[in-house]
Chain A
Amino acid sequence: MTSPTLTLLSDLTPPSLERTWLTAPHPTLPIVATCSSDKTVRVYSLTNFKLLSTISGGHKRSVRTCAWKPHIKGESVLATGSFDATVGIWRRWDNYGRTEDEATGLGLSSGADGVGKGSSNANAADSGDDDGAEDIDEEEWRFAVLLDGHDSEVKSVSWSPSGMLLATCARDKSIWIWEDLDDGDNNFETVAVMQEHGGDVKCVAWHPSEECLASGGYDDTIRLWREDLDDWGQVTCLKKHEGTVWFLDWEGTETTPSFGSVEDSSLRSRWVEQRALSGPRLVSCSDDKTVRVWRRLPKVNGDEPGAMSSAATGIPSIIRPTGTDENWEEDALLPYAHELAIYAVAWSSRTGLLASVGADGRIVLYEERVVASSAADSDVMDSEPAAEKPALRTEWKIVSVVDGAHGIYEMNHAAWAKRADRGSTEDEEEVLVTTADDGSVKVWTLQR
């Protein structure tokens, strides 16, 4: 197998003229949302890379972050976090797909209404094509609700895998968990406020399948949170980074490392077994220029299995000895590849590849490979019970480096998305979407 390389596919046009912070791919539709310092969010098509809508009027300062609510049909819901200390919830009936071919350049700009937060913004200059005259209400982004609670700049927002919970974090050192009551009236209820972090909380990210939240921040720590008998509490605090933790991402639930020449079905099943015990791993990147992977240590046999995960049995454990403390360890320190702060890391849930980007304007792609262990290893393979075999060893290799990916500009974010343009050759082909200081957003294909 040859190493994957990144090739520029397209820019998203027209770009923001000010710094863009983050681009969130929609969970199902071929669209992305880009947050900008110009206080707006731009929605672009991944089919033709053109601007679809500009969401404006809701925030008074930079929009720093946004996230699409998963698992809703017929409508898209976007949460936005801003330096104005608020979180906005926006809704729009899905029809991008239906009219896509002709209408992708349509200026479907909308403004906030109802709450007096700014006025409708036609944004004609940005809307590209001129056939946007047929704008009707259903095609517009509707400002649903403003979540007020943070005292200072909101840095990150994340929906739980079910879409029921929204986590938000800010410079005020707190993490808020909100429950979307889904009552048709856009009501959200504050479920928890966690204030353990010693500095700005820079990022929050939900576990891909469980209600477990990871956070990282200015105090250089990564913390994990779970609900225990109605109370959200910290289950672990990881202190290895020597600088601000800028971003976190979770491993997908389906991917495996590359087995290469050591491919062997028993090795693969051993990997899957191992993974089932510790669950998806977490990756972090930091101002200290490192990328680290974290893994939960499976509880030793007989050591209160109930505390480990109620998800395993489906029944919440009644006896939980001393809280829900979990043991996590550093699984890997990825090869050093950045010269300046690393602002984002993205773990592909389709390919298992990791991408990191940062202030040095470089995209680095890493692949995890299973290391062929000693010859003796294959002898024990089929005879010993799984638990006694040595853990499968893997190592992370840098497989591609793109310097000056956005010219001289710093990159603030990277995310994997399903490829949707006509050039796509296979069903599950992926693109990497990178977001930079000059407002540019670029889409890269992966070639093997």
Chain B
Amino acid sequence: MAEMQNENPTILNLADLPTRSRSAVKTSDQPSGIFAAVPNPADFLSSDSEDDDLLEEPIDEQEIYDLIKSISDPEHPLSLGELAVVSLPDIFIKPTLVNVPDSPLQTVTVLITPTITHCSLATVIGLGVRVRLEQSLPPRFRIDVRIKEGTHSTGDEVNKQLGDKERVAAALENGALMQVIAKMMETCQ
């Protein structure tokens, strides 16, 4: 980590990142992206006050996005959301067992776009996202974090590691690695 792998990443304005407030007005067919209005802080407060309904309210892509957008990049003082490493359109929630309609299991898929195609930190970033979701979401969610196709030179290799439950479990017991992950999470509430 001594040398920056990508010294000039594209950075999105914090205010331009998708938020709950905009998804609420989605009906007006507002284009998502950089033309969106600056979110009103009050919107955050109001969504917080809905705690009572939380149990009934299904977890949606925006909520997943909100959980991971503020994770810091291990190399830049910027968040994964600002660097567009994670983005709302690359988050999917689907029932895990399609043939069992009453199963509560859901699979959250997050596609990660590394800032450069040979980023050696892709695994750490992916692990950070996975750990963040595992720790925040109820256990009925199956978490599937992978590199978006074509955005990384060794994507398949990274995906296999991120998908390996045993390796992830062992990583969580690895002090050095967890320090890096904890540092990335410092910027999450």
Contacts and interface: CB of A to CB of B under 8 A. Distances in A.
| Interface SS of chain B | loop
A438 B139 contact: yes
A257 B140 CA distance: 37
B173 A83 contact: yes
A309 to B, nearest CB: 34
B170 A153 contact: yes
A359 B166 CA distance: 12
A36 to B, nearest CB: 12
B123 to A, nearest CB: 14
B39 interface: no
B79 to A, nearest CB: 30
Interface in B88-109: 96-100, 103-105
Given A61-B173, A360-B97, A408 B167 contact: no
Interface string A327-366: 0000000000001110100000000000000011110000
Contacts of B165: 341, 343, 359, 410
Interface in A165-204: 171, 200, 202
B139 A244 contact: no
Given A171-B170, A408-B139, A408-B140, A244 B97 contact: no
Query: How many residues of B sit at the interface, in one of the four size bands?
Result: 20 to 34
A404 interface: yes
B54 interface: no
B97 to A, nearest CB: 5
Nearest to B140: A408
A155 B139 contact: no
Nearest to B164: A244
B57 to A, nearest CB: 18
B170 A339 contact: no
Contact of B96 (A171, A287, A339): A339
A225 interface: no
B148 interface: no
Contacts of A61: 170, 173
Given A244-B164, A339-B96, A341-B165, A360 B105 contact: yes
Given A171-B167, A244-B164, A62 B173 contact: yes
A403 interface: yes
B100 A408 contact: no
Contacts of B20: none
Contacts of B164: 200, 218, 244, 287
Interface of A: 19, 37, 61-62, 64, 83, 152-153, 155, 171, 200, 202, 218, 244, 287, 339-341, 343, 359-362, 403-404, 408-410, 437-438
Interface of B: 96-100, 103-105, 138-140, 142, 160, 163-167, 169-170, 173
23 contacts: A19-B169, A37-B169, A61-B173, A62-B169, A62-B170, A62-B173, A64-B166, A152-B170, A155-B166, A171-B170, A200-B167, A202-B166, A244-B160, A287-B163, A339-B96, A340-B142, A341-B163, A359-B142, A359-B165, A404-B103, A408-B104, A408-B139, A410-B142
The 8 closest A-B pairs by CB, nearest first: A408-B140, A61-B173, A153-B170, A83-B170, A403-B100, A339-B97, A83-B173, A408-B139
